[in-house]
């Protein structure tokens, strides 16, 4: 799973979260839990913008320094980003992927929407159409 280092700065009025690898993603929360929830949302929002602009998704850097914590994307978002990366790598647009799959383009739009609860079998079909396969790795929780 993708895990981006984020700086959690505590202040009197809350916790500000910034991402060294994705400077556009900035958020804040009143508690550690809220700041982490908002950090995941901010990260997904900015990565969605990158996808809409057909920009490459930055790879997470190393987590180092005081106040740095890892913000993990949900597994489904990670899988969707893998589809997007394969599309960029092969210069395939949404309409082209839809043609390969025999789907309407709106289905591909939803498949790449990080906020949409897509089905895993659809992601597997999309990856297969791009010559890729999904591999799942289960690790001990940190």
> Do 57 and 87 fall within a single domain?
no
pTM of model > 0.95:
no
d(CA 11, CA 9): 7
> Do 90 and 113 fall within a single domain?
yes
Q: Write down which residue in 32, 54, 72 finishes a domain.
A: 72
**What domain range includes position 37?**
3-72
Chain-centroid distance of CA 45 in Å reads: 9
> Do 39 and 59 fall within a single domain?
yes
> Which distant-in-sequence residues (6+ apart) come within 8 Å of 106 by Cβ?
none
Average pLDDT score over residue span 113-124: 96
For residue 15, what is the domain's CATH number? 3.30.160.250
> Do 89 and 31 fall within a single domain?
no
- In the prediction, which pLDDT does 63 show? 80
> Do 97 and 37 fall within a single domain?
no
Is pLDDT at 1 greater than 90 in this prediction? no
Is pLDDT at 115 greater than 80 in this prediction? yes
- In the prediction, which pLDDT does 129 show? 98
d(CA 109, CA 42): 20
Helix, strand, coil: what percent of the chain each, to 5?
Answer: 45, 15, 40
pLDDT tens-place string over residues 56-110? 999 999 888 888 999 999 999 999 999 999 999 999 999 999 999 999 999 999 9
d(CA 63, CA 98): 37
> Do 65 and 83 fall within a single domain?
no
- In the prediction, which pLDDT does 47 show? 97
């Amino acid at each position: 799973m993708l895990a981006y280092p984020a700086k959690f700065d505590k202040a009197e009025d809350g916790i500000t979260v910034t991402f060294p690898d994705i400077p556009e993603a900035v958020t804040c929360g009143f508690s550690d839990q809220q700041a982490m929830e908002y950090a995941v949302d901010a990260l997904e929002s900015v990565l969605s913008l990158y996808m809409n602009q057909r920009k490459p998704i930055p790879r997470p850097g190393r987590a180092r320094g005081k106040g740095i914590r890892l913000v993990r994307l949900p597994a489904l978002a990670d899988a969707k980003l893998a589809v997007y990366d394969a599309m960029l790598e092969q210069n395939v647009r949404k309409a082209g992927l839809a043609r390969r799959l025999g789907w309407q383009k709106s289905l591909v739009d939803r498949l790449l929407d990080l906020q949409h609860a897509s089905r895993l079998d659809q992601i597997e079909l999309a990856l297969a159409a791009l010559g890729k396969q999904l591999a799942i790795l289960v690790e001990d929780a940190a």
